[in-house]
Structure 1
């Protein structure tokens, strides 16, 4: 079982490597210094990194992304996401659960619009594979594996490479088990 989870991480890293190689090959196709420069300067890269540690708790998340800036008003791109959560013996809150582990990985498509320089509107379609394992105090285990689709519509204050705002998951369901709320604040940075 441990090798299976390790392979998920390898798969996520392979996809990240594959996308970075493809972006490099696209940029080099048909060598024309001026054309390649114009193409390359329209790509912007960013993403997210999250780390959380506590007593018996670990949360690690990585989410690289790339967008192509078509003009000053519109950009679109792709992103990857992978996260690992491990929570051990959290006491009364989880009552009979001794350990909880979760592997989440997937991708997203994002579109960004800037109708005015300080305002950014966004739409992001996200598809995630969720693999949860619950280990109970009596040594029983329960696996809960599923796909989760989210469609986020967002609005934010945009200044330079940074956007701060809030997004709403229009496909959110209360039994979601991935996000605790339909609303989610964000900080987005693209260089």
Structure 2
């Protein structure tokens, strides 16, 4: 199950960085909105649906902060699971090609085995720190490639099998 949660976290990470900033064309609009939607399929009738909304505010041209959330529904032949996460994020952009960021997520996980009826409910806090490279695509649009690490991750007590998550995405309006 940890491997499935890790794959889920990687997808959430990818979607979390797939963000779209909405601008009215005015420099006074500093709000950014975005998020992502993901669908996954796999063996044993595995299905995963994820929604990751995000809202941010450009504090300066280089510093952005906000709230990010994610909801994931998973099922296969053996279990069903729902994972909800919410928390603040901050990104610092420099040299128009690089970023560093922090993302604090509080996850709530509910899982149920189909054959035994066993229910597993837990929560976990994750503090992701990392950064990466941004490739300009023109008109304030960028592709992002990075790596984040959960500094609170503990091998024996975490529901996730690793503390590292890659980040790949697209951002408009920076």
- Using structure 2 for the length normalisation, give the TM-score: 0.74
Query: 1:54, 1:166 → 2: CA distance?
Result: 25
1:117 counterpart residue number: 96
Query: 2:42, 2:76 → 1: CA distance?
Result: 9
Q: Give 5+ residue unaligned stretches, structure 1.
A: 1-33, 89-98
- Please identify which structure carries the higher strand content: 2
Shift of 1:50: 1.5
Shift of 1:161: 3.4
2:81 counterpart residue number: 102
Higher relative contact order (CA 8 A, sep 6+): 2
Query: 1:51, 1:73 → 2: CA distance?
Result: 32
Contact 1:47–1:189 at 8 Å: present in 2 too?
A: no
Query: 2:49, 2:37 → 1: CA distance?
Result: 8
* Count of residues in Structure 1 that have an aligned counterpart in Structure 2: 142
Superposition RMSD on alpha carbons, in Å? 2.0
Confirm whether residue 158 of structure 1 aligns to residue 158 of structure 2: no
Query: 1:39, 1:153 → 2: CA distance?
Result: 29
1:48 corresponds to which of 36, 55, 71 = 36
Please give the secondary structure, in 1, of the residue aligned with 2:114.
strand
1:188 counterpart residue number: 169
- Please identify which structure carries the higher helix content: 1
2:158 corresponds to which of 160, 168, 176 = 176
Confirm whether residue 132 of structure 1 aligns to residue 111 of structure 2: yes
Q: Bigger radius of gyration, 1 or 2?
A: 1
Query: 1:49, 1:167 → 2: CA distance?
Result: 20
Please give the secondary structure, in 2, of the residue aligned with 1:190.
strand
Query: 2:96, 2:53 → 1: CA distance?
Result: 24
Q: Displaced runs of 4+ in structure 1, greater than 2 A?
A: 37-40, 159-162, 188-191
- Using structure 1 for the length normalisation, give the TM-score: 0.68
Please give the secondary structure, in 2, of the residue aligned with 1:141.
coil
2:20 counterpart residue number: none
Query: 1:161, 1:47 → 2: CA distance?
Result: 15
